[in-house]
Structure 1
């Protein structure tokens, strides 16, 4: 059975600890045949569930993430072809291209010729006939865009960090200077290697957590982390550019030109992102699924606190075991040694 987890470049990815998470789940001898990953994100949990032969259901509020879920979780057999890959990368002289990325994000994230190529690629992806080929191509484009960005995010206008001729203590100059074409080909090949059939009807759907209509035997919850101190950079702000790519024809109507990075407001929400309401949001979600097994990934020094989160489970008639996962090596956050990863494994009280 396939056991290589897709490489992710997202803040808060659980890829490095997913095997530990699964070991804790197995240690509880829980009976479940299906899973719902309600903050699907990188798809790491759903992909692991798929590896383990479960019927994996993925859900996420963002369209770009949902397409990743469709490419790697819902898709059991389809792979993108060399012909399709070449089509995406080739400018069609008979097609009337738009250049929204080049116009709106000039000198913000990428060089001008890169912006123009991204414009062409997105429109060519949307012209592919097979939907799963589109999803895989988008996955490869997302990974390409991320790896060419300082810190793999889009919440700052900082192209200069890549272009300045200075000695660097961070980032990967060699990767930054690889062509978009070469990186896209690499990630298409990589994506194809992740496709496998677990002979289950896995799904990927776009929905906010509180409005999700899907269910399963086990609900995995990995909500946005809201620190008890300091500023909070929400997930949307980090990855709004990718959401713009998958809403190419309409995103220009949602650009905040008052921000230096021209943040695209599509999909922006306070659900699970506000310090004042996140505890109530979490309580509502746990209440919604309190007759299921809930596995809840969390970190200390957040809102709510570990103790407060435990009380939320108790108030919703659930008993839970709290496990400490002893790792702190986080993508994009390797310096804060005080942060600990916790896992709540909850079941309905008998």
Structure 2
């Protein structure tokens, strides 16, 4: 196995910093035996990528198309064919192309500066026209990562460009990083792709299903769903709608919610696992879809529903030996103030596979 180099991410709820602990519990403490992994809520691909490093066959899945592209780049593809020189050329206007300006027109003074909006408009249209899928996924990957790095909180749930431009001092971001050009950030992410795109000798795949419509099979199913806090009602879709809109660039104008200050793009919005009151029912259906697999669930001790409610649901199936592991205090990059947050791992060992 190559030296462990994990792709860096600004994704909300990413398990990158504790993935080694999670993997150790699954393999060494719970002693689960498995050759294939299905990552239902793939997100930043931290779990999928770690499984790939450990020579497992990986099936990455995510409801968002932009995340699926991240999965295709890191999990399905094994190389990076995009050079920095070719990446920055994608900012150049081609004389034969009649460019649209959806970002500059609709997102002025919301997320990025006028210059950055114009750059995004040109770049994304050039990228979507590429025929080489390897190059296209790389070009989209470095754009997504750069857009996240240039955002306060690394999110798109608020209209807060003014916060970035007028930032003086605080604990939620890095002004120096925000003001770096896309071209400068691309250098970092191209170098990163050159290191992390590896071949583990397996056929790994990335899919774009909603969680409840993902009927793929694997020995182990990893579930890292959205979790809710009492004081928060912001959906994951609202946090990342802008990136999902970029993948569907030509459909943006017809899918903007003008009633919201952040002009949320409604493409691929879903109620699955986005409703506190229906979460347990969604989870029950999801578990039922993978009843023949070992199941591992990552969750938080302060989430809604509670760990106790989730454990009770899992034990009701009578097919699993359910063990709860506490990974200790862990604060996500955007949640640094709650000293009582703890990461919980629920290991459901399938009794029929022992």
TM score, norm. by length of structure 2: 0.95
The answer on whether the counterparts of 2:84 and 2:190 sit within 8 Å (CA) in structure 1 is: no
Task: Tell me how many residue pairs correspond in the alignment.
Answer: 349
Deviation at 1:233?
1.1
TM score, norm. by length of structure 1: 0.96
Deviation at 1:56?
0.7
Q: Which residue of 1 aligns with 2:157?
A: 155
* Match among 49, 55, 65 for residue 67 of structure 2: 65
Q: Which residue of 1 aligns with 2:222?
A: 220
Q: Distance in 2 between matches of 1:339 and 1:86?
A: 41
Offset from partner CA, 1:200-225 (integer Å, 9 cap, x none): 00000100011012111000000000
The answer on whether the counterparts of 2:159 and 2:261 sit within 8 Å (CA) in structure 1 is: yes
Deviation at 1:82?
4.0
Q: Distance in 2 between matches of 1:81 and 1:129?
A: 16
The answer on whether the counterparts of 1:43 and 1:68 sit within 8 Å (CA) in structure 2 is: yes
Structure 1: segments with no counterpart, 5+ residues: none
Stretch deviating more after TM superposition (38-47 or 25-34): 25-34
Stretch deviating more after TM superposition (68-77 or 302-311): 302-311
Deviation at 1:98?
0.7
Q: Distance in 1 between matches of 2:137 and 2:125?
A: 13
Deviation at 1:337?
1.4
Q: Aligned pair 1:96/2:88, yes or no?
A: no
In the TM superposition, 1:155-174 aligns within 5 A as 155-164=157-166, 166-174=168-176
Stretches of 4+ aligned residues off by more than 2 angstroms: 81-84, 165-170
Deviation at 1:51?
0.2
SS at match of 2:122: helix
In the TM superposition, 1:9-88 aligns within 5 A as 9-27=10-28, 28-88=30-90
The answer on whether the counterparts of 1:292 and 1:348 sit within 8 Å (CA) in structure 2 is: yes
The answer on whether the counterparts of 1:89 and 1:181 sit within 8 Å (CA) in structure 2 is: no
Root-mean-square deviation (CA, aligned residues, Å) is: 1.4
The answer on whether the counterparts of 2:69 and 2:141 sit within 8 Å (CA) in structure 1 is: yes
SS at match of 2:212: coil
Q: Distance in 2 between matches of 1:214 and 1:195?
A: 24
Deviation at 1:125?
0.8
Structure 2: segments with no counterpart, 5+ residues: none
Q: Distance in 2 between matches of 1:312 and 1:347?
A: 15
Q: Distance in 1 between matches of 2:245 and 2:103?
A: 9
Deviation at 1:345?
0.8
